[in-house]
Structure 1
Amino acid sequence: MGPRPVPVAGVMRAAAAALAGAGIDSAAVEARLICAHVLGVDRSRLMLADGLDEAAIAEVDRIVAARAGRGVPLQYLLGTAPSGRLELSVGPGVFIPRPETELLVEWILARLPAPTGGVGLGPVVVDLCAGSGTIALEIAHARPDARVHAVELHEAALDWLRRNAAARADAGDTPIEIHHGDATDPHLLPRLRGRVAAVVSNPPYIPLTDDLPAEVLGHEPATALFGGTDGLVVVVPLVDLAASLLAPGGHLAVEHDDTTGAEVAAVVGRRGGFGTVEQHTDLAGRPRFVTATRHDGADDDPTAQKGITR
């Protein structure tokens, strides 16, 4: 007869202590997530599990050591990250979805034309700098009628995007169309010019700095983080591309660094024939994304701008 399983509570306490000793603020929560992952149970049912055998404890120890010793993001170690209504696969080479992006997704979903046809017969949406697919796949999940295109340049991120798109299609969501391309290329997606209802993007937007958490700087790809010295290197040409893709009345939503909201709004306001430009904050009150509507000649002054909104 082999050794008896070790109770979950004891393993979880030891994991939390090791994580806390490494300076991880959410040590108890992360310990719970790690144990639930290793046992393959929902976090809410973790304390009902029988316990962990030697192999499971060794796996918990491996994950804790990587998290505490090398600062590897927990999402990479678990292989998944929450993304609004979805759970997406992530790992080295792709930006980890953040909760703030969900606000941008909800803004776009509230403004897409109402469903009028079957699957794939509704509005066209383009996600530029798609990364893991968080925006594109959330929209496709919420709007089965939408025709969603996701553009990603970097091969490592593209692999994660394809993996997540295939998983969501297998789960029954409307498949998205993936493009290996550069969101700063003015000639991108020529067949969609003037036909798109919404362009959305969470581009590389952080002004160059080394003042970021070590687990971000040391593990997440710089190509997904930094937008040049001013944070606008990708944003400026991306806005021009968006303007060429959008139909009159189509919407643009671009996430940005919390220090560059006014600059991004100014870029959108002076380029591409957009109508009223709005700045939006996240749940912490920090400037987070800018939206605008393609001018159709019958609405707002295209140079008009509004203040920050929630």
Structure 2
Amino acid sequence: MTSAAGPSPRLLVRDAVAVLASAGVASPEADAVTLLAAVLGVERSRLPLIDVVSDVDRERFTTLLARRAAREPLQHLTGRAYFRHVELAVGPGVFVPRPETELLAGWAIEALRTVSAPAGPDGAGAPVVVDLCTGSGAIARSLADEVPLARIYAVELDPAAHGWAERNLAGTGVDLRQGDMAHAVDELAGTVDVITCNPPYIPWEAWESVAVEARDHDPHLALFSGDDGLDAIRVVEDVAARLLRPGGVVGFEHADAQGESAPAVFVQAGRWTEVRDHADLAGRPRYTTARLR
């Protein structure tokens, strides 16, 4: 029902769901609710408590709805993304963190806790972790949040993405570097306990199969990696072998079609043990871990 003062949130969401569904958005109802809550400045759970939406807010919602229907990422429209227990600022120029990557972050957190030791006044004795291809800083921020004693380094090559990481990691104590992951933290060689990386891993030939939101809005530097999608993973193997201490561990994400080819990069190198692939919550191959001999 629409009152003289304006339509109800329920009515706006109902109409928005139809628009988004016809545009091919995968989660039309959740996205419609999230957008309206963002416009009104309330939590999603409080929308039923609002009777009517003003004309000004309705116009703002309609504008955002049209952009989402054009497949602009939801997180770009709201300006924020959620990752494990933290909230991140995101927008054009940075890869939007995915829920699947939370599993890799969780593995790293548990790995760090197994080597955690009371740190001295200068941080001596604290576990050391490096997050390569940090993007928005999602993994590094989660590590800082859940393993505060760790010494955390994060590396990002792209200037725009580095700017977002700088914003998200401010005040966390993370040592953020802008540069090529191959050499950005060379001074740590042989001292690192844990390495994480969500590298680019999509083959160029898979261009057409990539979701519109990612293909048209995520930076291509964060998506594509050579003819077989493994170029960056090969660099991760080489860098991890130099940075890790003997017995240190590395974990990296890959495409679900790379459940055999991604671990094979490490197996064929001959300097790793416990090379294991891990599935995501949908049972799809998602990330590989390995331990340096």
TM-score in terms of structure 2 length? 0.92
Q: Provide the residue aligned with 1:90 in structure 2.
A: 90
In structure 2, what is the Cα distance between the partners aligned to 1:155 and 1:251?
Answer: 28
Q: Which SS does the other structure have where 2:236 is aligned? A: helix
Q: Provide the residue aligned with 2:54 in structure 1.
A: 53
Q: Which SS does the other structure have where 1:110 is aligned? A: helix
In structure 1, what is the Cα distance between the partners aligned to 2:164 and 2:56?
Answer: 28
Q: Provide the residue aligned with 1:307 in structure 2.
A: none
Q: Provide the residue aligned with 1:284 in structure 2.
A: 282
Q: Pick from 174, 178, 191: which aligns with 1:195?
A: 191
Unaligned 5+ segments in structure 2 are none
In structure 2, what is the Cα distance between the partners aligned to 1:87 and 1:9?
Answer: 27
Q: Pick from 228, 231, 235: which aligns with 1:230?
A: 228
Q: Provide the residue aligned with 1:158 in structure 2.
A: 162
Shift of 1:284: 1.1
C-alpha root-mean-square deviation of aligned residues, in Å?
1.7
Q: Provide the residue aligned with 2:40 in structure 1.
A: 39
Find out whether 1:218 has 2:216 as its counterpart.
Answer: yes
Find out whether 1:107 has 2:101 as its counterpart.
Answer: no
In structure 2, what is the Cα distance between the partners aligned to 1:21 and 1:107?
Answer: 38
In structure 2, what is the Cα distance between the partners aligned to 1:32 and 1:232?
Answer: 38
Q: Pick from 193, 197, 201: which aligns with 1:205?
A: 201
More helix by share: 2
Q: Provide the residue aligned with 1:145 in structure 2.
A: 149
Matches within 5 A, 1:250-269: 250-269=248-267
Q: Provide the residue aligned with 2:17 in structure 1.
A: 16
In structure 1, what is the Cα distance between the partners aligned to 2:262 and 2:146?
Answer: 28
Letter in 1 for 2:237: V
Identity among equivalent positions (%) equals 44
Q: Provide the residue aligned with 1:303 in structure 2.
A: none
Q: Map Cα deviations across residues 248-291 of structure 1 (whole Å, 9 max, x no partner).
A: 12110011111122222121123272222111111111111110
Letter in 1 for 2:161: A
In structure 2, what is the Cα distance between the partners aligned to 1:190 and 1:26?
Answer: 43
Instruction: Report if the CA contact (8 A) 1:243-1:272 is conserved.
Output: no
Shift of 1:50: 4.3
Shift of 1:5: 4.6
Instruction: Report if the CA contact (8 A) 2:155-2:184 is conserved.
Output: no
In structure 1, what is the Cα distance between the partners aligned to 2:90 and 2:148?
Answer: 24
Shift of 1:46: 1.6
TM-score in terms of structure 1 length? 0.87
The number of residue pairs the alignment matches comes to 284
Letter in 1 for 2:116: A
Q: Provide the residue aligned with 1:25 in structure 2.
A: 26
In structure 1, what is the Cα distance between the partners aligned to 2:174 and 2:154?
Answer: 7
